[in-house]
Amino acid sequence: MSRALAEEIAVAALGYIASDPRLLERFLSLSGIDPAEIRSAASDEGFLGGVLAFVMEHEAVLVALASGTGSDPAEIAAAAALLAPPEPRG
């Protein structure tokens, strides 16, 4: 999977999250982002990976996103893995 495709999947996930007020509130609460900051945060490196990490931590969200976008959950998981921050070395 290309990084561009992974980012497209993450943007679709963000749109899905934003379309559900309760889910959006949960995402914002966990991420610490103010609703007014979403657009600017979306351009930060790592934000889209965080969106997919949120999806992967909530199976019901993953299944609903896959169903709503016609994606395979495995494809979403692959995008999440590609956009995840590198593990710290030490």
Mind listing the pLDDT tens digit for each residue in 9-46?
Answer: 999 999 999 999 999 999 999 988 888 888 888 888 78
In a domain? residue 28: yes
- Residue 44 is predicted with a pLDDT of 81
In a domain? residue 12: yes
Q: At residue 34, what is the residue type? A: D
In a domain? residue 88: no
- Residues spanned by the domain of 49: 3-83
In a domain? residue 89: no
In a domain? residue 37: yes
In a domain? residue 46: yes
Buried b (16+ CB within 10 A) or exposed e, 36-67: eebeebeeeeebbbbbbbbbbeeeebbeebbe
- Residue 90 is predicted with a pLDDT of 61
Q: Name the pTM for this structure.
A: 0.87
Structural domain total, the chain:
1
In a domain? residue 90: no
- Residue 88 is predicted with a pLDDT of 64
